[in-house]
Each structure stands twice: as structure tokens, then as C-alpha cells.
Structure 1
Amino acid sequence: MVLTSPERAIDFCCAANMEKTKIGRRFEGKVAIVTASTQGIGFGIAERLGLEGAFVVISSRKQKNVDVAVEKLKAKGIEVLGVVCHVSNAQQRKTLISKTIEKYGKIDVVVSNAAVNPSVVAILQTQESVLDKLWEINVKAAILILQDAAPHLQKGSSVIFISSIAGYQPRSPLVMYGVTKTALLGLTKALASEMAPHTRVNCVAPGYVPTYFAELLMKDGDARKAIEEKTLLNKLGTTEDMAAATAFLASDDASYITGETIVVAGGIPSRL
């Protein structure tokens, strides 16, 4: 006999809703560190991992930005730890890792998202101090933070570098920035070999996404339209698009993928 009382209907609906909340919770009980994650693509990634069940550790250079981002994530029911970390500061990198271990005891996912673009001039006109800053934050810091995190990575862990479509064809005004993003493609291959078989290393290369970081490219309407027309989908990407690709690569759904880069750029040409 099938019960059709209002109480039974309510119980059924509640059970169905509970099942829906489990869908996509691929990071239940896992700990994920996302650098430069208080806004833009980094925040989107942290939010996605958190909504899928991860304990998320976010970071930024400014305490105020960290505090605001933490509150936003907590409001969505996400377990989050916020730490001030300028990735070029050795002590702050170590603090990021030590506070993560102190609170959660392990690391399952590292997403290296921090990057700068302090110059829009040609490579041969770029000052040495600017070259140093680009290298230090966009590439070197990504390696150093993994050196600190590696002893705590669990079997089956995952590392994701955030590169850029500019890494495939560096163009003005992102020429040297693009070169550093090209380096991350090689770093992905090298570390995938070095960290196998217990840790997978992959990369996401975003296309053009209207964030604060890309404001220079997006504030001009004609320039934005020209960028949109370069894509096969005739639109810009979103932070949610980048977060979805990152979450896939970090999850067990990608358990047989390592050393690869997913280009999330709406069809902008990148490679054969």
C-alpha cells in the first residue's frame, strides 16, 4: 500500500531535495587551497569547490579582502579558512600551509591562481624589475608554494595551475604575461611526471573573462566586442566556466588525467 498523506509527501520531497544536494559534492571531506582567491576566477574556484563539499582555504594580499570573501563563502554554507598570503613572501606562504594543516590536518587540492601583469609594453622594452616580478609571482611562486605543500598532499591529491589562452599565443598588451603563462604549460608537464603516481598535476587555460584583473581589456566596448567575435561562441567566459573546468580536473572524475591543459576559451584557437 502506498502512503499518500501530506506528511508522507513532505517526507518524500525532503528526501528528494537531500539527494539533489549530494549531486556534484565530489570534494566531501577534502581540503583545497586556492591562491589569490578573494575575487575573480580564484574566488569562483573556491566557491565551486566549497559548494561541492571541500574545506576551502582562500588567500589574498590584504586582510580586508580575505575577510569579505570569507563572509561571502560562509553565507553559502561553505567551510572556509582565510589567510593573508602574498605568494612572493616566503613566510606568508609557509603560514598559509601551516594554518591549513593546523586546522584541517592535510591537503588534497592546490589551485595556483596568483598572477600579475604589471606591464603592457613590448618584451624588449620591459624593465628588468618588471621581468623579475612577472617571473617571481606567475611562475616561481607557483613552484615554491608546492614545495611547502607537497609533504602534506594526500594520495590521490590534485594540483591545478591557472594559465591563460595568452600562453599559447602571447600578444600585446599581454606579451610577457603570456610568456609566463606558457611556462606554466611546461611546468604542468614536468611536475605531472615528478609528482606521479600519487598526485595529479593539470592546468586550466582561461580565455577572456570580465574580471577586475582584465579591466584594461574589457572597459572599452569596441575592444570587448572584438574579443567576443574571436570566440566561436561569440561571448566572453565567466568565472563559473573556469571554476567548473578546475573542479573537474581536481576531482576523481579526472582520475586518469594528468599533465594536461584544458583550454576554456569559447573556441579561440590554441593548438591543433
Structure 2
Amino acid sequence: MELDGKVAVVTGGTRGVGAGIARAFADAGAQVVTCARRPPEVALPGTEFRPLDLRDPDAVRDFFAALPRVDVLVNNAGGTPYRLLTEADAARHARVLELNLLAPLTATLAAYERLRRARGSVVMIGSVSGTRPSPGSAAYGAAKAGLENLARSMAVEWAPDVRVNTLVVGMVRTERSHLHYGGTDGLAAVARTVPLGRLAEPYDIGAAAVFLASDAAAYITGASLQVHGGGERPAFLDASTVPKER
């Protein structure tokens, strides 16, 4: 899964999952360009940072036009605060859709010609929130569901020149995990709900992204790879009164 000489762009690649992805690509030998509105607090070895507001279509087009080559695009930038639907108006929820669905579409279209010339690869960073109800982050879940479907359509339209796949990511331990899961006890309790017994590390997501971008996945396009530690244990198993065999 070596990527020597390849140019990989990782959006939002300055912290959390994005930083883990950037490190994994750098370790695989790629020349990594990260972009976000603000620079990383800690420099990432083997990466180059360029400022970019992904919600500005003109800036996105200029960003990719300035790159002589793009072999891999990882659409990682995104996220949402916890917000129930009735706690904000539609315009506020639309901003979540803009960042998590429209921005990846804008970036991928802007990079398309360079990706086509390189017979490159796009990796969308999706979420389990797009495959199940997502209370408190409904707009985010809807955007991630749309992103996965968008990737499948891109894969068909752009084959055989550009491969497009999605990582369906579960819970990840990052510097902001406590905002979603609580402190040490909360993180431990949440980790126990995962069949593998832990949250993902950002580098776990990066390693999966490297695989999809590499020649090891040369015949994989339009696919969704679940990276969630086995997913969520079905609630009925714990609610059932049937004795559980050990």
C-alpha cells in the first residue's frame, strides 16, 4: 500500500481524524497537502498546510488550480455540534449540510481534471450517522447519507478514470471526544459498547483511507467500507430476558 510520489490532499487534515489521515498518507510515502481555515496547532511532519475555506467555491477552485498534480483527494472536513432539530431554524441546519455534503462535492469537482489525468482516487469520510437515526445531529446524518450516495454516483460516472469510495466511520477518540462522550468514565463506558472494546484512533481511519487510495484497492470503486469496530450491539440483546449463554 505504498503511495510513493503520489500527491494526496486531505481536507480538514489539521486535527482529529484529519490529522490521523494525513499522518497515515505521509507514512505511506505520499506528498500530503492539508487544508483548513486555520493552521494546525502542532505541525504535522511530512505535510504541507495551505489555508482554505471549503465553503467558498471560488477559493476551492483556485486552490486546486494552483496544484500541479492531485492523485488522491480525501474529503474529511466536516462535523457538527449537538443540536436538536427544534433548537435551530432551517438555515442553521443548512450550514451543516453545506459543510458536510456540498463542500465535498465542490472540492471533488474542482479536483476532477487532475484526478482524471492521474487516474486517481477519492475517499469520502462518511459516518455511521448516515446509516441510522442521528438524534441531535440529524442534518449531519442526512449529509453523510447523501455523501455516501454521491460517491456511488461519482464512481459510476467517472469510471474507469477515477475511483470513488467511502469510509463509514464510527466513534473515534480525538482531542474533542469529551464533548460528545464525557470525561474518562464516559469514554470508557462508550468504548464498552463497541464490539472491539475501544474507540477508533485517528490513525485507524487513516490506514483504511490509505488502503482505498492504494493499488491494493485497484478494483474497488463505489464501495462503502465500514470502519466502526463491529458497529453497535443490538439493544434487544441486552433487553431480552432469555438466559445468555457464555
TM-score, normalisation: structure 2 = 0.87
Task: Indicate the RMSD between aligned Cα atoms, in angstroms.
Answer: 2.0
CA shift, 1:152, in A, is 1.2
Q: Which SS does the other structure have where 1:230 is aligned?
A: coil
Q: Which SS does the other structure have where 1:263 is aligned?
A: strand
Contact between 1:170 and 1:176, CA under 8 Å: does it hold in 2?
Answer: no
Moved over 6 A (4+): none
Find the aligned partners of 1:235 and 1:81 in 2 and give their Cα distance: 31
CA shift, 1:111, in A, is 0.3
Find the aligned partners of 1:180 and 1:196 in 2 and give their Cα distance: 24
Letter in 1 for 2:162: T
TM-score, normalisation: structure 1 = 0.79
Find the aligned partners of 1:150 and 1:189 in 2 and give their Cα distance: 15
Report the counterpart of residue 234 of structure 1 in structure 2: 197
Report the counterpart of residue 15 of structure 2 in structure 1: 39
Q: Matched residue pairs, number?
A: 233
Within 5 Å, which residues of 2 pair with 1:2-21? none
Report the counterpart of residue 59 of structure 1 in structure 2: 35
Report the counterpart of residue 14 of structure 1 in structure 2: none
Contact between 2:171 and 2:200, CA under 8 Å: does it hold in 1?
Answer: yes
Structure 2 unaligned residues grouped into runs of 5+: 234-246
Within 5 Å, which residues of 2 pair with 1:16-165? 24=1, 26-62=2-38, 65-66=39-40, 68-69=41-42, 71-73=43-45, 78=46, 80-99=47-66, 101=67, 105-121=68-84, 123-153=85-115, 154-165=117-128
Contact between 2:19 and 2:44, CA under 8 Å: does it hold in 1?
Answer: no
Structure 1 unaligned residues grouped into runs of 5+: 1-23
Letter in 1 for 2:5: G
Could you report, residue by residue, the CA deviation over 1:140-168 in whole angstroms, capped at 9, with x for unpaired residues?
11111111111111343100000111111
CA shift, 1:213, in A, is 4.6
Identity rate, percent: 30
Tell whether 2:216 aligns with 1:253.
Answer: yes
CA shift, 1:91, in A, is 2.9
Find the aligned partners of 2:27 and 2:155 in 1 and give their Cα distance: 27
Find the aligned partners of 2:122 and 2:106 in 1 and give their Cα distance: 13
Find the aligned partners of 2:171 and 2:82 in 1 and give their Cα distance: 18
Q: Which SS does the other structure have where 1:82 is aligned?
A: strand
Structure of higher RCO (CA pairs closer than 8 Å, 6+ residues apart): 2
Find the aligned partners of 1:140 and 1:215 in 2 and give their Cα distance: 28
Letter in 2 for 1:219: G
Find the aligned partners of 1:224 and 1:171 in 2 and give their Cα distance: 19
Report the counterpart of residue 209 of structure 1 in structure 2: 172
